[in-house]
Amino acid sequence: MIGLIMMPERDQHSVHAPGPAFRAFGLVTPNETGKFPVESRVMPELSRFYGIIIRMFSEPSERHHDPHFHAYYNDHVAVFAISPVALIIGFIPQRQQRLVEAWAELHQDELGADWQLLLDGRKPSPIIPLQ
């Protein structure tokens, strides 16, 4: 099942390290009240396995980064390039990172297709979880 998460705007503070690179990839936290601001964007969920959530976001109206996806595990967030599959920024525990990388290698074509759908302003398709 595909889910949606509301992500705050990029000018907020980052999850693990305040800096423009984290903010540029949308790695941000709720405001001081503990809630995400009203002016939020949606990041569709592509897959979920072993406690890891995979999401992807693109802004068709402006130039975005190279094709990538976000992996969430507990309080950890990491961004991975699609081709070649590689950690760009962030951190998730090593075991979960290996699972994400293995999953992404298996589904590289589907990740690329979802990225293109987002660039075209369309909803991405779910991707089979790692089993």
The answer to whether residue 131 is domain-embedded is: no
The answer to whether residue 126 is domain-embedded is: no
Q: In what order do the strands lie in the sheet with 40-49?
A: 4-8, 40-49, 52-55, 68-73, 76-81, 86-91
Q: Does pLDDT of 129 surpass 80?
A: yes
The answer to whether residue 86 is domain-embedded is: yes
Residue of higher predicted confidence among 14 and 2: 2
Total of domains in the chain: 1
9 vs 42: CA distance, rounded Å:
10
pLDDT given for residue 63 in this prediction: 63
Residue of higher predicted confidence among 76 and 119: 76
The answer to whether residue 128 is domain-embedded is: no
100 vs 97: CA distance, rounded Å:
5
What are 19-69's pLDDT values in tens digits?
444 445 555 444 444 443 333 356 899 999 999 999 998 665 666 678 999
Q: Print the domain residue range for 87.
A: 4-119
Give the lowest-confidence range in 7-21, 95-109, 110-124. 7-21
The answer to whether residue 88 is domain-embedded is: yes
The answer to whether residue 22 is domain-embedded is: yes
pLDDT given for residue 121 in this prediction: 85
The answer to whether residue 130 is domain-embedded is: no
The answer to whether residue 34 is domain-embedded is: yes
13 vs 20: CA distance, rounded Å:
9
* Share above pLDDT 70 across residues of the chain, in percent, rounded to a whole number: 63
